[in-house]
Amino acid sequence: MAESVERLQQRVQELERELAQERSRRLSGSGDVGGGRARIEKMSPEVVDSNPYSRLMALKRMGIVSNYEKIRTFAVAIVGVGGVGSVTAEMLTRCGIGKLLLFDYDKVELANMNRLFFQPHQAGLSKVQAAEHTLRNINPDVLFEVHNYNITTVENFQHFMDRISNGGLEEGKPVDLVLSCVDNFEARMTINTACNELGQTWMESGVSENAVSGHIQLIIPGESACFACAPPLVVAANIDEKTLKREGVCAASLPTTMGVVAGILVQNVLKFLLNFGTVSFYLGYNAMQDFFPTMSMKPNPQCDDRNCRKQQEEYKKKVASLPKQEVIQEEEEIIHEDNEWGIELVSEVSEEELKNSSGPVPDLPEGITVAYTIPKKQEDSVTEVTVEDSGESLEDLMAKMKNM
Amino acid sequence: MAESVERLQQRVQELERELAQERSRRLSGSGDVGGGRARIEKMSPEVVDSNPYSRLMALKRMGIVSNYEKIRTFAVAIVGVGGVGSVTAEMLTRCGIGKLLLFDYDKVELANMNRLFFQPHQAGLSKVQAAEHTLRNINPDVLFEVHNYNITTVENFQHFMDRISNGGLEEGKPVDLVLSCVDNFEARMTINTACNELGQTWMESGVSENAVSGHIQLIIPGESACFACAPPLVVAANIDEKTLKREGVCAASLPTTMGVVAGILVQNVLKFLLNFGTVSFYLGYNAMQDFFPTMSMKPNPQCDDRNCRKQQEEYKKKVASLPKQEVIQEEEEIIHEDNEWGIELVSEVSEEELKNSSGPVPDLPEGITVAYTIPKKQEDSVTEVTVEDSGESLEDLMAKMKNM
């Protein structure tokens, strides 16, 4: 009898343990509750229903990519795991990227359910934790490193810089690419500062507050314009960010626009890492008219960021040291980039809207306007520079700013 | 002591029951294991973290959509719940569409994991069943009707026609839109036949076999070219579909391209249903060069589909009965559509590739080529019509075909 009680007590303990495990799997916020697939040592091109890489390895047979399996050797950092960042992370995970580093300090809310990826039962969890669970289940071959903090604080910035420099696939090596999927000016400027200092190539992405336009941008420090050289450009309504922070006011968003921006961002990442197609320096998306402007921008020699200016000097030296043939090729490529398809940019932003912008506004091609403006400081009001219809160049404006 | 044993036995039973429940919730194949949100009677614009519609209703405040909540009054049928269809369904679900009807006869496989939406633990389940579980959990306000069958068989075709005609939000009313997200010629032709007969507006979508281009197309029977008027056009490699069915050969696919195509498709659906922006009749996506051609095509007066010709007659009568002012406006709109942005189409398909195509090839603008060709019959070989560099129009070719 005593034995029986002991056995029953053991059984109760066992069951309680199992139940707790089941519950934690279910409530882990992942929605992905086991039953996932086993790890795969080597990517195979074999065409069987059980091979999750068959359709990707087929890119080799189709003549698109010569070395698809190289995807496993890359580490990509994603800052911001919201509407664009989460889908970006999922696409790279499904493509079999080597390692993902995710940075976000926000929590999942039901108000995020109008965009892809997160599910209602994850509400309240940290975005990076919820994302890691889901992504690990989708592809256990990918390595994940997540950081639940705000990169813009001094302390976290140092750690962020350290992980960009050392968090590569092999610890101690830098990551291969940083992707900015954040929704505010300060975080973009922070990523820009870090990447200029480290000479780290990165890609910017953004969606307008009215949800119907977005863009991606490739920034190679010293070679293309950085975020401080000029506010990034996009065909978008020009609303000061601060207006979005007011109580009871929030930006609109759509799963469509964010899905398209994540799609063109990760496509650019794949082309950049696996060396196929034309990598875009800038690609915009105007959903109202199905208009996709492309362009490229040279860095500003008077950029406020001294590390940008330093990178520009180094890039100049590098180009000067190349055999002449290669330099010419490079120039041609840039021209090619500029207006390959003869696409004309057409204005959709009124002069009035442009006047209402704050911060330095560069001399832009017709129809291109700034997506982000520098938020006005609230206490010590900085004198505002607005451009009405002047022919002033970016350099003139920057010089003016410096003399204030 | 006896009491204690009984209590323990009861406790074991209780725990076993709870564990079984937890397991069944976990293994229901949904990945969405409860913990979802409650239903919401009325869409609210209130800006609180718990409101899943706040960012969508903000489209009204931003001046983009005048009547966002009208989304709940629409029913959309999606044929094909694969790489494009599943993401399309998820986007519409998150946007709060009234009702979705899903048609597919395929099962989820690990080989699908390189695209968004399905998860490894769903392998083996029917696509429509797995999708319904996930989507219901994401948004319990949407009504779902799923059909696990192939629409191209005679019997299922009748049922499909019936559901298009009667499966609207209110039973007995037609759906508002049909979306084709299938991956083969036969299924597209079947949808085309049904929609021509019913006068049902639909949208086509497709991704090329090499995974780096795709398109969407709006077909309004009688008003724009149907799928039988001319093979739909896309800037894509021109590979005969039959070659894809060979043992050991499969098409490549990417989550990026499919995500972009689903994004532009659903964006077009939202613009069409909620009446904002410019609805595209055709939008292509060339991922290699980040090139997005747009165009529109008039129906072929000699289309093989007699219901298409009938719809054309009815459309002509409708236009003729309109006051003159409106007719002119319509004409202007079409011109506007044609080359609004002055985008030039540039060829990326060689003459050689075009020669290898089968089926009637229309007289296309330079740089536009056919995405789908009519599969060659294997037993009774139909004489093949190929276009080399002739100036023959589509009508000439169709007439030739008829005289064979």
The secondary structure of B330-356 as a DSSP string is HHHHHHHHHTTT-PPP---S-HHHHHT
Q: What is the pLDDT of residues A62-101, one digit of tens each?
A: 999 999 999 999 999 999 999 999 999 999 999 999 999 9
Alpha-carbon span B321 to B136, nearest angstrom: 45
pLDDT at B276: 98
**Nearest Cβ partner for A121 among B19, B34, B209:** B34
Query: Which pLDDT tens digit goes with each residue over A317-345?
Result: 999 998 876 555 544 443 333 433 333 33
Domains held by chain A: number = 1
pLDDT at residue B106, rounded to an integer = 95
Identify the pLDDT of residue A388.
Answer: 32
Catalytic choice (B195, B250, B303, B308): B250
pLDDT recorded at residue B316: 96
Measured between beta carbons, the chain B residues lying within 8 angstroms of A211 are 55, 58-59, 62, 64
Q: Do B123 and A278 touch (CB under 8 A)?
A: no
Please tell me the distance from the alpha carbon of residue A187 to that of residue A182, in angstroms, as a whole number.
7
**Token pair of B363, please?**
């007289």
Half-sphere exposure of B373 (CA within 13 A, CB side): 27
Residue A192 reports pLDDT greater than 50: yes
The answer on pLDDT for A271 being more than 80 is yes
CB-based contacts of B213, cutoff 8 Å, min separation 6:
B207, B234, B235, B236, B237, B257, B284, B285, B286, B287, B288
Residue B360 maps to a domain: no
Query: Is B367 within the bounds of a domain?
Result: no
Chain B CA closest to residue A367: B341
Residue A55 lies in a domain: no
Do the Cβ atoms of B5 and A8 come within 8 Å?
A: yes
At residue B290, the 3 state secondary structure works out as coil
Q: Within a domain: residue B213? A: yes
**Is B45 domain-assigned?**
no
d(Cα A93, Cα A87) in Å, to the nearest integer? 10
Query: Of B351, B272, B289, B305, whose CA–CA distance to B97 is shortest?
Result: B272
Q: Which amino acid is at A321?
A: S
The per-residue pLDDT for B226 is 94
What is the pLDDT at residue A1? 55
CATH number for the domain that contains residue A122: 3.40.50.720
Helix ranges restricted to H, B40-84: 54-61
Closest CB to A340: pick one of B16, B210, B289.
Answer: B289
A window 8-47, beta carbon within 8 A of B = 8-9, 11-12, 15-16, 18-19, 22-23, 25-27, 31-37, 47
What pLDDT, in 10s, does the model give residues B345-399?
Answer: 333 333 343 333 333 334 444 444 445 444 443 333 332 222 233 344 444 433 4
Q: Is the minimum CB–CB distance between B310 and chain A shorter than 8 Å?
A: no
Supply A136's token pair. Answer: 């690990």
Residue A231 predicted with pLDDT over 90: no
Tokens of B117: 């939406």
Indicate if the pLDDT at residue A394 is higher than 50: no
Q: How many CB pairs under 8 A join A and B?
A: 332
Q: Which of residues 208-237 of B touch A (CB under 8 A)?
A: 209-212
Instruction: Provide the CB-side half-sphere exposure for A152 (13 A, CA).
Output: 12
Give φ, ψ of B102 to 5 degrees.
-110, 135
SS3 per-residue string spanning A254-301? CHHHHHHHHHHHHHHHHHHHHCCCCCCCEEEEECCCCECCEECCCCCC
Cα–Cα distance measured from residue B40 to residue B6, given in angstroms and rounded to the nearest whole number: 45
Which residue ranges of chain B lie beneath pLDDT 50? 29-33, 233-248, 329-370, 372-404
d(CA B264, CA A290): 8
Which pLDDT score, from 0 to 100, does residue A348 have? 36
Digit-coded pLDDT (tens) for A273-330: 999 999 999 999 999 999 999 988 899 999 999 999 999 999 999 999 988 765 555 4
**CA–CA gap between residue B100 and residue A311 (Å, rounded):** 53
Rounded to a whole number of angstroms, the distance from the CA of B197 to the nearest CA of chain A is 30
pLDDT of A238 above 80 = no
The secondary structure of chain A in percent helix, strand, coil, rounded to multiples of 5, reads: 40, 10, 45
Cβ of B22 within 8 Å of Cβ of A27? The answer is: no
Residue in chain B lying closest to A134 (CA): B119
Contacts of B260 in chain A (CB under 8 A): 259-260, 263-264, 267
- Residue A289 in any domain: the answer is yes
Q: Which of B8, B18, B34 sits opposite A19 (nearest CB)?
A: B18
Let me know: does A260 contact A268? Beta carbons within 8 Å: no
Give the C-alpha separation, A300 to A309, whole Å: 8
Could A52 and B19 be called an inter-chain contact, meaning their C-beta atoms sit closer than 8 Å? no
Residues of A in contact with B4 (CB under 8 A): 5
Contact B270 A254 (CB under 8 A): yes
Q: Which residues of A touch B62 (CB under 8 A)?
A: 209-211, 251-252
Query: Do residue B255 and residue A344 have CB atoms under 8 angstroms apart?
Result: no
Q: B91 in contact with A at a CB cutoff of 8 Å?
A: yes
Active site residue B250: yes
Asked if A353 has any chain B CB less than 8 Å from its own CB, the reply is no
Question: How do beta strands A282-286 and A294-295 pair?
Answer: antiparallel
If one counts every other C-beta atom within 10 angstroms of the C-beta of residue B1, the result is 9
Q: Spell out which residues of chain A touch residue B110, defining contact as CB-CB under 8 Å.
A: 37, 49-52
The CA-atom distances, in angstroms, between A33 and each of A15, A137, B129, B167, B270 are 19, 8, 18, 34, 33
Contact across the interface for B277 and A209, Cβ inside 8 Å: no
Q: What is the DSSP string of A29-72?
A: S-S--S--PPP-SS------TT-TTHHHHHHHHTTS-S-GGGGG
Parent domain of B279: 74-321
Q: Is A87 on the interface with B (CB under 8 A)?
A: yes
Residue contact B52–A248, C-beta within 8 A: no
| Cβ(A395)–Cβ(A300) below 8 Å | yes
Q: What is the ipTM of this complex?
A: 0.77
Cα separations (Å) of B373 from A186, B227, B252? 51, 11, 18
CB atoms inside a 10 Å sphere around CB B347: 13
* pLDDT recorded at residue B384: 29
Could you give the residue numbers annotated as active site of A?
Answer: 250
Residues of A in contact with B287 (CB under 8 A): 267, 271, 277
Residues in A closer than 8 angstroms to B338, CB to CB, are none
Confidence (pTM)? 0.77
Check A19 against B22: CB less than 8 A apart: yes
**B333 occurs within a structural domain:** no
Tokens of A179: 């992707």
Does residue B402 lie in a domain region? no
Question: Which of A1, A62, A111 shows the shortest C-beta gap to B55?
Answer: A111
What residue ranges in B230-288 does DSSP mark as E strands?
Answer: 233-234, 282-286
- Looking at the predicted structure, is the pLDDT value of residue A264 above 50? yes
% of chain A exceeding 70 in pLDDT: 71
